[in-house]
Amino acid sequence: MHFASDNSAPVHPLVMQALTRANDGSAMGYGNDDLSAQVVQQVRDLFEAPEAAVYLVPTGTSANALALSILCQPYQTVFCSELAHINVDECNAPEFYTGGAKLTLVRVPDVMTPDSLRAALDGEENRGVHGPLRGPVSITNVTEMGNVYSLREMTELCAVAKDYGLPVHLDGARFAQACVAMGCTPAEMTWQIGVDVAVFGGTKNGLMGVEAVVIFDPAKAQEFEYRRKRAGHLFSKHRYLAAQMEPYLTDDLWRELAISANTRAAELRAGLEALGLEIVNDTQANMIFFRMPLRAHYAAKQAGAAYHLMEPENVPEDTPVMARLVCSWDTPSETVQALLHTFRNAL
């Protein structure tokens, strides 16, 4: 019963097969092989962006930090929510890669609204050279709390950024899960509404370790290439990054895996609600934050379930505590039912 994270899940069999296929003889390094070229084209096709520059990097942190480094000067500030991965889970990577830019936190824990974003932007009022200059707005979809911005909501946030003349970065570690939940195309949730650089995540959706950074203004491409190399994120045996993306982008596998994860989460959510438990977030994606009495947590732990408890355990057994459950592309319905069964028995 593994619900700790979608990055605890294994690699999809088709991806393993593609790696084996790619492992045939010699190939030019550093992305100069045919498979790498093919994957770039596949991403462009998927995003309906024939001019886009596309780069593969191995981790979400490198994808976000490199993306921000081409959107943000060292004397600027990035706008994001308090719980944004770039703020709380990347150990100052954005500050490192941008050469010392700041993050200005929009005063919401997780989901930005146009008003809260505007308030933050206005808060970094014009203080001339004393304060940092306003830099990019960074949106995460699916958010850290598992919420999904609707297409309308994302459109509105982008519009605010554009009002202030600022570029937009999309942290898409769970791009697929968001896209499926939003019911739109990758183009609709990115360049068509004003996203300048999108991270198209794969690691949390069945790949071994690959994210595609999609840069819609190709004038930024050269800078990205130099910065990727400088950061040690250009793989010599690049074909093995491409080999992961290739099946992912074929026959909509990325979408299929996201649907599977989201569906399982919906099933889990319905089950928790049926048990009368409080659901904290309001999501159609693959993460659920909910509250249960501590004793239910003990029972689940006893039964071998793995997930993150988000609040301290030093409370009475009946106290509701918040926990996070994440479904992956490979979570079976049986496992969902087994967990629900464990909770049911403990309540």
Here the tokens at position 282 are: 């309001």
Selected range binding a copy of itself among 60-68, 185-193, 262-270, 271-279, rule: CB under 8 A: 60-68
Selected range binding a copy of itself among 43-51, 58-66, 262-270, 275-283, rule: CB under 8 A: 58-66
The neighbouring-strand residues paired with 325 are: 288
Q: Which of 75, 114, 255, 340 binds a copy of itself (CB under 8 A)?
A: 75
Here the tokens at position 118 are: 């505007």
308-347 residues in contact with a copy of itself (CB under 8 A) are: 328
Closest CA to 287 of 311, 258, 245, 313: 258
Check residue 56 for interaction with a copy of itself (CB under 8 A): no
CB of residue 195 vs a copy of itself: minimum separation in angstroms?
A: 21
Check residue 29 for interaction with a copy of itself (CB under 8 A): yes
Closest CA to 170 of 188, 180, 181: 188
106-125 residues in contact with a copy of itself (CB under 8 A) are: none
Output 77 or 260, the one with its CB closest to a copy of itself.
77
In the chain, the N- to C-terminal Cα span, in Å, equals: 18
CB of residue 330 vs a copy of itself: minimum separation in angstroms?
A: 8
**Lateral strand order in the sheet of 133-140:** 53-57, 211-215, 197-201, 168-171, 133-140, 76-81, 102-106
The neighbouring-strand residues paired with 200 are: 212
What would the DSSP string read from start to end of 57-110?
A: ES-HHHHHHHHHHHH--TTEEEEEETT-HHHHSSTTHHHHHHTS-EEEEESSSS
Here the tokens at position 67 are: 């993306």
Check residue 127 for interaction with a copy of itself (CB under 8 A): yes
Contact indicator for 132, 77 with CB cutoff of 8 Å: yes
CB of residue 239 vs a copy of itself: minimum separation in angstroms?
A: 9
Selected range binding a copy of itself among 183-191, 222-230, 262-270, 287-295, rule: CB under 8 A: 222-230
Q: Which of 208, 259, 310, 346 binds a copy of itself (CB under 8 A)?
A: 208
Binding mask 245-284 for a copy of itself (x = CB under 8 A): ----------------------------------------
User: Which stretches of the chain are DSSP H helices?
Assistant: 13-22, 34-46, 60-71, 85-88, 93-98, 114-123, 151-163, 175-182, 221-230, 239-248, 253-274, 294-302, 333-346
* 129 preceded by a cis bond (ω within 30 of 0): no
Cα–Cα distance measured from residue 323 to residue 298, given in angstroms and rounded to the nearest whole number: 12
Q: Which of 11, 83, 275, 310 binds a copy of itself (CB under 8 A)?
A: 11
Output 204 or 269, the one with its CB closest to a copy of itself.
204
Check residue 302 for interaction with a copy of itself (CB under 8 A): no
Selected range binding a copy of itself among 136-144, 191-199, 229-237, 272-280, rule: CB under 8 A: 229-237
Binding mask 178-207 for a copy of itself (x = CB under 8 A): -------------------------xx---
Check residue 96 for interaction with a copy of itself (CB under 8 A): yes
Selected range binding a copy of itself among 102-110, 143-151, 251-259, 289-297, rule: CB under 8 A: 102-110
Output 99 or 183, the one with its CB closest to a copy of itself.
99
CB of residue 87 vs a copy of itself: minimum separation in angstroms?
A: 8
Contact indicator for 198, 170 with CB cutoff of 8 Å: yes
Selected range binding a copy of itself among 27-35, 38-46, 250-258, 285-293, rule: CB under 8 A: 27-35
Helix and strand totals (H; E) in the chain: 13, 11
230-249 residues in contact with a copy of itself (CB under 8 A) are: 230-237, 240
Q: How many CB atoms lie within 10 A of CB 309?
A: 15
Q: Which of 44, 83, 100, 155 binds a copy of itself (CB under 8 A)?
A: 100
